[in-house]
Amino acid sequence: MTVEYGTVKALHALAERVGLIDIVNKAAPKRNGLPVGELAFIMAANRLLDPRPKYTIAEWYQRTYMPEIIGIDLPPDSAYQTLTRCLDYLTDDVQIEIEMALAGKVMESFHLKSKSLIYDVTSTFAEGEGGAEILQYGYSRDHRPDCRQVNYSLCVTMEPTVPLFHQTFPGNTVDSKTVKETMVRFKDKLGLGYYETVTHTIDPAVQALLLVIAIIGLIALAYGFVSKK
């Protein structure tokens, strides 16, 4: 039988370099059963290499070299329950802890500079009734004011462009209100130095509001803020 080797080996090497599995296991410890970090890596690798429903991931897993790499036995008859139960450990707070620890490790491992960071906000609308409370009516970039939406932001490094973390906000959140919260996350979670300057590239509409709304808070956080178009 032919097994997939090169792609899973390369992906695992990258995960090892940034300590992905260890970071997840530290943030989401599990007393019994298969560790969350290894299971999360299996699901992430599948999503990147051959996206499929969770109930068929075990079949894909067995056709790769991954069982030999990480040493996890994932029987097809119980894999779906094992993988879905793993997700119960990845609460919102745990995900934030993982993402911040991973961002710091990525910056360290690849010698990325934290003085130039790109930040932007976008949104996705949803049709129909019901749904999560985060879906709210707000400024629609999709020109669908009749639909509720969720806002989400992404922060990446500049040259090279590497994603650090993302965050979701209710659909009625004004873009400018997301910036101060983002800066606090930089300072508290990534451990940026007191005098370190962070440059953000953001939407022009946000820039004017920031000069009035956010600058006092940013000074209090001891950051230098420079916005660019």
Give the CATH number, domain containing residue 132: 3.30.420
User: How many domains does one find in the chain?
Assistant: 2
Q: Are residues 83 and 130 both part of a single domain?
A: no
125 plus 172 within the same structural domain: yes
Q: Which domain holds residue 129?
A: 112-228
**DSSP secondary structure, the chain, as one string:** ---B-HHHHHHHHHHHHHTHHHHHHHHS--SSSS-HHHHHHHHHHHHHHS---GGGHHHHHHTBSHHHHH-----HHHHHHHHHHHHTT--HHHHHHHHHHHHHHHHHHTT--TTBEEEEEEEEEE-SS---TT-B----TTS-TTSEEEEEEEEEESSS--EEEEEEEETT--HHHHHHHHHHHHHHHS---TT--EEEE--HHHHHHHHHHTHHHHHHTT--EEEE-
Please indicate, yes or no, whether residues 83 and 129 belong to a single structural domain of this protein: no
Position 152 in a domain: yes
Question: Do 81 and 117 belong together in one domain?
Answer: no
Choose one of 43, 63, 92: the last residue of a domain: 92
Residue 172 lies inside a defined structural domain of this protein = yes
Residue 181 belongs to some domain of the structure: yes
Q: Final residue of a domain: which of 61, 92, 123?
A: 92
Q: What is the pLDDT of residue 37?
A: 94
Res 96: pLDDT = 86
Of 35, 60, 92, which residue sits at a domain end? Answer: 92
- The pLDDT value recorded for residue 229 is 39
Decide if 205 contacts 178 (C-beta within 8 A): no
Question: What is the reported pTM?
Answer: 0.75
Q: What is the pLDDT of residue 174?
A: 84
42 in Cβ contact with 74 (< 8 Å): yes
Rg (CA), the chain: 20
Check whether residue 161 and residue 208 sit in a common domain. yes
**139 inside domain:** yes
Note whether residue 135 is domain-resident. Answer: yes
163 part of a folded domain: yes
pLDDT (0 to 100) of residue 208: 46
Instruction: Note whether residue 97 is domain-resident.
Output: no
Predicted pLDDT of residue 225: 38
Same domain, 63 and 116: no
Is 187 found in the same domain as 122?
yes
**Residues 139 and 204 occupy one common structural domain:** yes
- pLDDT beneath 70: ranges in the chain: 114-115, 183, 185-229
Q: Same structural domain for residues 116 and 81?
A: no
Peptide bond into 170 cis (omega under 30): no
Is there a single domain that holds both residue 129 and residue 23?
no
- Quote the pLDDT of residue 202: 54
Residues 160 and 218 in one domain: yes
Do 220 and 177 belong together in one domain?
yes
Asked if the structure places residue 44 within a domain, the reply is: yes
